[in-house]
A and B are shown apart, each in its own frame.
Chain A
Amino acid sequence: MAHPSTYRPASGVAKWLDERLPVARVMHDQFMVYPTPRNLNYWWTFGGILTFMLVAQIVTGVVLAMHYIPAEDRAFDSVERIMRDVNWGWLLRYAHAVGASMFFLAVYVHTFRGLYYGSYKAPREVLWILGVLILLLMIATAFMGYSLPWGQMSFWAVTVITNLFSSLDAVIPGLGTTLVQWIWGGFSVGGPTLNRLYSLHYLFPFIIAGVVGLHIWALHVPGNNNPTGINVKSPAETVPFHPYYSIKDGFALVMFLLLFGALLFYAPNLLGHADNYIPANPLQTPPHIVPEWYFLPFYAILRAVPDKLLGVVTLLASIGVLFFVPWLDTSKVRSTSYRPIYKWFFWAFVVTCIALGYLGSQAPDGWYLFFGRVFTIYYFAFFLVVMPVLGKFERPRRLPGSITEAVLGHEASAAKPREREAVA
C-alpha cells in the first residue's frame, strides 16, 4: 500500500548505497513495515507458501539438471541414476515431483481465495491478471517437466497435447500439421522434442519468478484485500507485515510442509502414475492416458466437447476466461461472505471443479461424459452468466462500516471469552 517511507539508513555505507540504489529501503518499506490489514485469515498465507514453493522447485530443479540427460535413449536411465547413485538424489527428485503437486495445490487454494473474496475487483485487476498469467506459465512448466523422465505417460502426454495443435487443420488445411511438426522438431515426438521441452522447462520458472515480482508489486500498490472486502479506512486497521504476517505466514508454511513431508517421505508416488516407470515406447499406447491430477479438470473439459478444434478452444477458454473475471463480475461487493445468493453459486463452482477433476480421470463415455458436459457448462455459466447477471440483481447483506467494526461486531460475543483464556 502506498505509504511514506520510514527507512532510516543506519550507517554511512547504508546511506551511500541508499542514494544510489535503494534496495534496503524497498525491502524495509515493502517487507518490514508494509501496512497489512489486521484481519487477514489463514487463506491469505498461501501467497507466502507459493513463493517458498517456487524457490524450492528452482533449487531442486537446478541441481537435478546437473545430473539429468535430455536424450531420448538416456533420459529415463539418467533419472533412475539420480534415484540410485546421486547423493540425496532420491530426495531431490521426489521433492521436485511431489513439490509440483504441492505447488498446484497451493495455487488452486490461492486462486479460489481470490475468487471468494473478490480480490480481482478494482483496483486489483492487474494483480489478478498477472496471477492468471502465472497460472498459465505454471501449467506449461509442469507439463514440460512431466515429459522429462520420458516414461510411457510422459511420452504419450506430450503426444496428446502437442497433437491438439493439429486441430488447426480444420481452420487452414495443413496449418496444424505444419505447426505440430515444427513443435516436434520432426515427424513424431522424439529426441528433438525432449530437448526443447527440457530447455523451456529450465527457462519458464525464471519467467514465472519475474511475473511473481510484478504480481507482488501490483499487490503492494493498492495493498491487500481482506476477508470483509472493505477498503482499509485508517492506519489503525493495519499492522506492519513484519512481525505480524511474517510469523503467521511462517507458521502456515510449516503446517504446509508437514503435508508436503508426509507425501514426500511416505507416499512419493501416490500422486504419480505407475506407467511412468515404464520407459517411453512409441509403439505401445498405454490403455489410459491421463494427465497429472492438477490438469484433470481441464482434461475433462477438453473431452466434453465432441469437436476436436472446439474442444481445444474450450480448453483454452477455460483458463482464458479468468483474465476477464474483473469485468465479468458486476457486483459492487467484493467479499462473497456478504453475498447470500452468489455464495451458493460459488460453492457449486468449487464442487464443479472437483467433479471435473474426478471425471477427467475416467474414460469419457456414458454417464461420465454426460456429467462431464453438465459440469463444463456450469463451469462457463458461472463466469459468463452468474457473475454478470447476479451482480445486478442480488441484494448483498449489510456491509460493516469498517474492518474494525467487522472484527469487533462479529466476534464480540463468541470469540472474546476464548481469547481471554489465551491471554491468561
Chain B
Amino acid sequence: MTSHSCLKLFGVFLLALALPDRGIGDEEHSHASELQRQSWTFTPPFGTFDNAQLQRGYHVYRDVCAQCHSMRLLSYRNLGEPGGPEFSAKVVETLAAQAQITDGPDDKGQMFQRPGRPSDRFRSPFPNDQAARAANNGALPPDLSVLAKARSGGPDYIYALLMGYRDPPPDFTLAPGMHYNEAFPGHQTAMPGLLRDGMVGYTDGTEKTLDNYAKDVSAFLMWTAEPKLEERHKVGTRVMVFLLVFAVIMYLAKRAVWVPLHRRRDGAKQSSSS
C-alpha cells in the first residue's frame, strides 16, 4: 500500500468523523447556528460549574420558572450534592421545607400536605398536564429537568430565548396570547417574557439584571440536565492521560517487537541489491 493511498484512507476516516456532526438535524441547527455562544465555566475538557452561579440560578428558577415549569427528575437532596450548587445540608433542608408536598395516604386513607424533605422530588406547580394547560392558555410548559440537552444549542439557546423577547416587527402577525421571541423557532412562543431587572433577590452582591438572571438560570439548567458533568470531566482527564501514556508504551512495545523483523528485512534488501 502506498503512503498516498494511506493518506486517502485516513482522509476518509476523518470525513467519516466529520459526517455525524453535520448529520444531526441541520434544520434545528439553523436557529442554533445564529446563537451567540456565551462563555460558560463548564465547557469541556476541564470546565466545572460555578457553585455560586448555580445557587443564584436556583433562586431564579424557584422564584420565576417554577411558577409554571415542573422539574420532576430532580430532588432537593441534589442541591447539596458535589458538582452542583452545593448548598449546605442545613440550607437544603430549609429549601425543601419551603415546599408543601402532597403525601399519603395516611392511616385513614387520606392524602395530606406536609413540608418537603431533602429526599422529595421538586414540587411540580400543577398536579397534571391538563391543569398546566388550563392555566397557561392551552400551552404545556415543558419539564425543565433535561431541557438543556433537549434543545440544540443547550444553555446558549436557553440564554438566547430568555433574552430574546422583543416587540414583533410591524409585518409580523402574532397569534393571540403568543409572544414574539427572536430565538424561538418560528418566533412565536406561548411563554411570556417574565424576567425583569431586579425581580429576583441576589444576596451575593451580583447585579440584579436580566442578563445575569438569564445566564445564571441557563447554567443551573445545564447542571440539572447533566448533574455528573464535573465528575465526567474529571474522570475524563485521568482516563485520557492514562490512555496517552499507554499509547506511547504500546507504540514503543510494538516497535521493539517489530524492529528485529525489519532489521532482517533490511539485511535481505542489502543482499538482494548487492
Q: Write the residues of chain A forming the contact surface with B, with a CB cutoff of 8 angstroms.
A: 38, 41, 43, 77, 80, 83-84, 90-91, 94, 101, 105, 108-109, 112, 116, 227, 239, 243-244, 247-248, 250-251, 254-255, 257-259, 261-262, 264-275, 277-278, 287-288, 290, 293, 296, 337, 347, 350, 354, 357-358, 360-363, 404, 407-408, 410, 412, 416, 419-420, 422-423
Report which of B2, B232, B239, B263 forms a contact with A90, defined as CB distance below 8 A.
Answer: B232
Report which of B23, B150, B243, B269 forms a contact with A357, defined as CB distance below 8 A.
Answer: B23
Given the complex, which residues of A lie within 8 Å of B26, measured CB to CB?
361-362
- Please give me the residue from chain B that is nearest to A271 by CB atom: B20
Given the complex, which residues of A lie within 8 Å of B151, measured CB to CB?
274
Chain B binding surface, main DSSP class: helix
Contact A105 B73 (CB under 8 A): no
Given A38-B261, A250-B250, A108-B44 contact (CB < 8 Å): no
Q: Write the residues of chain B forming the contact surface with A, with a CB cutoff of 8 angstroms.
A: 1-2, 5-6, 8-9, 12-13, 15-17, 19-28, 44-45, 73, 78, 142, 145-147, 149-152, 225, 227-228, 231-233, 235-237, 239-240, 243-244, 246-247, 250-251, 253-255, 257-259, 261-263, 265-266, 268-269, 272-273
Chain A binding surface, main DSSP class: helix
> Could you list some 9 contacts between A and B, CB below 8 A?
A254-B246, A265-B235, A267-B44, A271-B24, A274-B28, A288-B28, A354-B15, A361-B24, A404-B268
Given the complex, which residues of A lie within 8 Å of B8, measured CB to CB?
347
Report which of A43, A244, A265, A266 forms a contact with B9, defined as CB distance below 8 A.
Answer: A43
Contact B20 A262 (CB under 8 A): no
Contact A80 B25 (CB under 8 A): no
Across chains A and B, which 5 residue pairs bring their CB atoms closest together, nearest first? A265-B236, A293-B20, A277-B150, A266-B44, A361-B23
CB distance from A277 to the nearest CB of B (A): 4
CB distance from A114 to the nearest CB of B (A): 13
Contact B23 A290 (CB under 8 A): yes
CB distance from B191 to the nearest CB of A (A): 16
What's the Cα separation between A360 and B257 when bound, in Å?
45
Supplied contacts A268-B232, A288-B25, 20 more A-B pairs, CB within 8 Å: A43-B9, A80-B146, A90-B228, A91-B235, A247-B258, A248-B258, A265-B233, A265-B236, A266-B45, A271-B20, A273-B24, A274-B150, A277-B147, A277-B150, A277-B225, A293-B19, A293-B23, A337-B5, A354-B16, A354-B19
What's the Cα separation between A9 and B272 when bound, in Å?
41
Report which of B2, B266, B268, B273 forms a contact with A337, defined as CB distance below 8 A.
Answer: B2
Q: Which of B21, B26, B257, B268 is packed against the most chain A CB atoms within 10 Å?
A: B257
